[in-house]
Every structure is written in structure tokens, then in C-alpha cells.
Amino acid sequence: MRLTDKVHLIVSEYLQPGDLAVDATAGNGHDSLFLAEQVGKQGKVFAFDIQEQALNRTATHLREAGQEQQLYLIHRGHEHLRESLPRESIGQIKAILFNLGYLPHSDKTTITRQEHTLPALKQAREVLASDGIISVLAYRGHPGGQEEALAVRQCMTELAGDDLQLSILESPGPVLLLLAQHKHV
């Protein structure tokens, strides 16, 4: 099973219709679509990306699937997560997904960077519901990817505690890090 499929399988256990979710790296919209399908028409998905091209792809992807009603596009980096979410959603977000690396089929010099990702993870922890999950799929094959993955691992270790446990699933390519109430990996 691909790690992206594993993420969706695990995260689906945390989401119900009407929930709130965040795609912290919208990319081509695959995670946004998955989240939208899980939260249904009564839920909301906040999708962040710094690239307008990514947000356009995400919007098109969800519109074609009939899931655009619950999508809120945010043209900002995920390091602005907390300040960009509606105040009433703080502490109510059930799932936050990060795919770190670069947007496939685009400019490979535009990458996620640990100086943005680490503050985003801390903010994700602040806005997460007590029964929520943070998922980070960190791709390590691009310049800076290995260093970002290591910094993310350290940050998520620090964010873990009595209420949230860190699970890590290694692969030859990306690494999957999950912060949630129960170990899954």
C-alpha cells in the first residue's frame, strides 16, 4: 500500500460528516478531495498553498468531483495556518495533512522549507481538536528534503505528549509521521 493511501485510511478513522479539516499543502488537490469526501457537504476543508497554480488545480479537481461546496482556498503558506482559519474553528480541526516537498509537474525550486513547516506544525497542534490527527508525509529526495524531514521529526517528537502520540512509518522514499491519540503504525 502506498503511503498516501495509508494516510487516507488512517485519517478516515478520525473524520465524520460535518467535521473541519485542513490540507496544509494543497498541491494537486488529492488530499483536499479526500478530506472533502470525508467531511461531506456540512463540513469544511481549508486548503493552503503558496502557489496559485496549486490552488487552481485543487479547485478544478474538487469541482469535477462535485465536492467544491466545502472547500475554502487560502493563498498563503501553511506557516499562517492559525491566523488564516476562522476563530471558531480553533480547537475544532479534526485532521491536518501535510505533504512536504514540491508540487509535482511544476517548478521544482518551489519547495516546502523547515523554517515555514515547523511553525505550521506548532500552529497545527494549537488548532487541532483533542481527538484529531496531524499527518505529515515528508518527501526526502529533493534538495533540503532530508533536512526538513529530520527537523519535522524532532518538532513532532516535542509536540507529542500524554494526549497525542507520535507514530513514524519509514520507507525508502518518504517518511510518514502521525500525531494522534493512538499509535497506528
Q: Which three cell numbers stand for residue 37?
A: 469526501
pTM: 0.89
Q: Which three cell numbers stand for residue 170?
A: 519509514
Nearest alpha carbon to residue 27 among 63, 66, 64, 53? 53
Nearest alpha carbon to residue 75 among 48, 56, 57? 48
pLDDT in tens, 2-61: 878 899 999 999 999 999 999 999 988 999 999 999 999 999 999 999 888 889 999 999
- CATH no. of 3-180: 3.40.50.150
